[in-house]
């Protein structure tokens, strides 16, 4: 069965168009509520959101949907995605909902669903809920309609959990830290948690107005945090995305430290403490070959999955890993959270900084990434990757890079685009390989 609503990370799209309307949000509430009506207890859903203007509309629509099928609703307000996962379990809820389009601009929004265990839903669960969206679902009798309430201490509960991810003897006294919250969901909790641990905190991206989320700030636009770190003489900068499940760091020189370097640091730190499970780290096919070589040099493995943090998480759960993530900054630390948590990952980095006594530029640049190039080729229709000429060019490229690099070619799951990525020790060779494949795809799609 094909997917009309759910993508790689819940339902996402342009607000008031397509799949992201109030009417569909209400239907999602009814379908998800019905799916999780199991047993005779009073059923409960928790709902959080980021700071987008459209969050009010979608929140109200979801409340109408869930209560109409007999579920009680607990509204948490603006909180990071991992906070919703945590509070779904802590409040003994049957389902959790995060209203967010993550790193996308404010015009987009999305709906992410979590099961009672705090993990994102399986493919089977999403497909079952999607099938229900086209059905006439039974509504609750008048006396059994759900109730809705807001709780005031959700932020404090999450801050406590974040701080608990560090040993009691770790303090951040003496560190000056720039925290960029992307005008998003963590604008209150992330600076508070880091300040409470003793750091001097300089905040940027903490004045959301409904339309400035991810706008020239946060983990996808590092100019602001980088400039602020250098100008203020800070030791390090922390950049989150709109729903705070991603982390990118900048060192005291303003240089970027991506998810691959962070996985290298956290993985080897835990390995040295005897706390790394699975014998390595899980990442996607997009992680740099330099990370793989670095881990191998320390007797650790890099297990690769398809792109998407949900695939990383599935591999981690199946094979017993506790560290995984993506180059883009998703950091999944299963000892502390059930999904990517940028703030918790940041604290692990800050703890390592405290213990090492080194400047961030020395501690965080653990390996030299090999040259990597990614290009997107848009096409009008058909299946260019099935073309015989394209396949021949790809085969030649794989042979050329054999033993010295990697090639990853994948169609986008949301638009008519072929993504072509190559990496290797010779930058010119990588560029030639990517160019040849892109040219072949364009010719086939003409």
- Catalytic positions: 102
Q: Using CA of residue 363, residue 367, residue 368, residue 372, what is the dihedral sign?
A: negative
- Tokens representing residue 176 in the block: 């000056």
Identify whether the C-beta of residue 114 lies closer than 8 Å to the C-beta of residue 83: no
Helices (H) and strands (E) in the chain, counts: 14, 19
Task: Identify the helix (H) or strand (E) that includes residue 220.
Answer: none
Which residue from 279, 375, 291, 374 is spatially nearest to 326, judged by alpha carbons? 291
Could you tell me what percentage of the chain is helix, strand and coil, using 3-state DSSP and rounding each to the nearest 5? 35, 20, 40
- Give me the helices (H) in 46-164, please: 55-68, 81-90, 123-132, 154-163
CA distance 5 to 129: 10
Q: Using CA of residue 422, residue 373, residue 11, residue 445, what is the dihedral sign?
A: negative
Strand ranges in 215-371 using DSSP code E only, listed in sequence order: 236-240, 247-251, 256-257, 280-284, 301-305, 323-325, 331-333
Q: How far is CA 246 from CA 79, 159, 202, 355, 413, in A?
A: 14, 17, 19, 24, 21
CA distance 163 to 87: 15
CA distance 322 to 269: 13
What 8-state DSSP symbol labels residue 120?
A: B
Q: Which residues contact 390 (CB under 8 A, 6 or more apart)?
A: 384, 437, 440, 441, 444
Strand ranges in 198-279 using DSSP code E only, listed in sequence order: 200-204, 236-240, 247-251, 256-257
Which residue from 221, 187, 185 is spatially nearest to 204, judged by alpha carbons? 187
Half-sphere exposure of 367 (CA within 13 A, CB side): 24
Half-sphere exposure of 294 (CA within 13 A, CB side): 21
């Amino acid at each position: 069965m094909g997917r009309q609503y759910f993508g790689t990370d819940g339902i996402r799209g342009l607000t008031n168009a397509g799949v992201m309307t109030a009417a569909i949000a209400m239907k999602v509430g009814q379908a998800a509520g019905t799916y999780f009506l199991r047993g005779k207890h009073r059923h409960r859903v928790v709902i959080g959101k980021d700071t987008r203007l459209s969050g009010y509309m979608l929140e109200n629509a979801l409340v109408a949907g869930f209560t109409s099928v007999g579920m009680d609703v607990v509204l948490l307000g603006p909180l990071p995605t991992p906070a919703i996962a945590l509070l779904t379990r802590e409040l003994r809820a049957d389902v959790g909902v995060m209203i967010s389009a993550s790193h996308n601009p404010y015009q987009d929004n999305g709906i992410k669903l979590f099961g009672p265990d705090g993990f994102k839903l399986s493919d089977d669960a999403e497909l079952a809920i999607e099938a229900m969206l086209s059905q006439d679902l039974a509504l609750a009798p008048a006396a059994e309609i759900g109730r809705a309430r807001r709780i005031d201490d959700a932020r404090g509960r999450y801050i406590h959990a974040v701080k608990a991810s560090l040993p009691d003897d770790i303090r951040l006294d003496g560190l000056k830290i720039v925290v960029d919250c992307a005008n998003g969901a963590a604008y209150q909790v992330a600076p508070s948690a880091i300040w409470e641990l003793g750091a001097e905190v300089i905040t940027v991206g903490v004045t959301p107005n409904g339309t400035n989320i991810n706008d020239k700030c946060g983990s996808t636009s590092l100019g602001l945090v980088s400039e602020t770190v250098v100008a203020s003489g800070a030791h390090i900068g922390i950049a989150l995305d709109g729903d705070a499940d991603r982390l990118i760091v900048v060192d005291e020189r303003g240089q970027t430290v991506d998810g691959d370097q962070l996985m290298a640091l956290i993985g080897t730190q835990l390995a040295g403490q005897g706390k790394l499970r699975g014998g390595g780290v899980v990442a996607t096919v997009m992680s740099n070959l330099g990370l793989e070589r670095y881990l191998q040099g320390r007797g650790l493995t890099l297990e690769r999955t398809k792109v998407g943090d949900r695939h990383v998480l599935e591999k981690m759960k199946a094979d017993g890993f506790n560290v995984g993530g993506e180059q883009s900054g998703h950091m999944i630390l299963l000892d502390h959270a059930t999904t990517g948590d940028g703030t918790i990952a940041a604290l692990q980095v800050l703890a390592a900084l405290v213990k090492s006594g080194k400047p961030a530029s020395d501690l965080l640049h653990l390996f030299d990434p090999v040259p990597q190039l990614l290009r997107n080729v848009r096409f009008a229709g058909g299946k260019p990757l099935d073309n015989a000429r394209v396949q021949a060019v790809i085969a030649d490229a794989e042979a050329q890079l054999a033993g010295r690099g990697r090639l990853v070619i994948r169609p986008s799951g949301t638009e008519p685009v072929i993504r072509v990525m190559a990496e290797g020790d010779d930058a010119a060779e990588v560029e030639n390989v990517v160019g040849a494949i892109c040219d072949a795809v364009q010719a086939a799609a003409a």
